[in-house]
Amino acid sequence: MKRVTKVVIPVAGFGTRFLPITKTQPKEMLPIIDKPTIQYIVEEAVASGIKTVILVTSQNKRAVEDYFDHSLDLEKHLEERREIAFLDQIRKISEMADFIYIRQKGPYGNGTPVLNAESVIGDEPFAVIWGDDLVQSDEPRLKQLMKVYERYKSPVLTAYPVDDEGTKKYGIINGEKIEENVIKVKNILEKPGPTKAPSRIATLGGYILTPDIFDVLRKTALGKGNELWLVDAIFSLAKKRPIYASLIKGKYYDLGSKTGWLKANIDYALKYKETATFLRDYLGGLVNEL
């Protein structure tokens, strides 16, 4: 069985929820403390065993491409100043994996960047994660999905427990629990609300897919908003082969929203010694003022 060694990360979107800053700054480059969000996503993939990172970009995302390249002038400057710790940190960014950049071509929708990567993926299974979905966990989310794929040799979705409010925001899984952390998916209801939801298990970003998804994507009609949706293709594929979902362990952040990005910054600031004490004191002072 071929192992999963490649990940597709679509980063071509406009980031409209963060306008006006995303007029010139890619949302994937917005920082969580001192690293851009896209670096956390790539680090998760690399920690899961990914060797090749395929970033599907647009003409407005040159900053993402440049970030994972060597910066010779900066490296020389740091070397001359003997800032060795920073120098090592900067060099490791471009050495984490093999980076491939593809300009998105085709209709809007999150299925298009996956289809654009077909020539690089070939006949291998591969991962897909969004550039604004972050999961903080002891074991990387993609690694958790890979373990399920290795057992069942079929596509695997990310599953995550939500409350009633979550049933209004995410696709909700209807399926059969076959292991403690594995669900065999029957179908997914898109934002059904609490009364119609078949469960309180949502599907979030993060997939292990098989190469037969490409033929299905080509035949998938444009859906909501006249866009090509990956989930529509996965539904069609589910008629031909089993689809599974892995209930992941970790804390999920929607970095595409202002509140999700803010939560991540607060939580990660509390993890770092240089910011944790300051932030606790500062937030404590704010609470006392209320």
pLDDT for res 13: 87
Region 54-62: mean pLDDT is: 92
Confidence of residue 287 (pLDDT cuts 50, 70, 90): confident
pLDDT (mean) for 168-186: 90
Tell me, what's the pLDDT at 8?
A: 97
**Overall average pLDDT of the 25-44 stretch:** 95
Residue 187's pLDDT is 86
| Across 169-178, average pLDDT | 89
Please give the CATH number for the structural domain made up of 6-146+206-239: 3.90.550.10
Lowest-confidence segment of 79-83, 117-121, 222-226 by average pLDDT: 222-226
State the pLDDT at residue 285. Answer: 84
pLDDT higher than 90, residue 69 = yes
* pLDDT level of residue 171 (50, 70, 90 thresholds): confident
Residue pLDDT, tens place only, 247-272: 999 999 999 899 999 999 999 999 98
190-240 pLDDT, tens per residue?
888 999 999 999 998 899 999 999 999 999 988 888 889 998 899 889 888
Q: What is the pTM of this model?
A: 0.92
Q: In this model, does residue 188 exceed pLDDT 90? A: no
Cα(33)–Cα(269) distance, integer angstroms: 7
Q: Confidence band (pLDDT; 50, 70, 90) for 290?
A: low
pLDDT on residue 42:
97
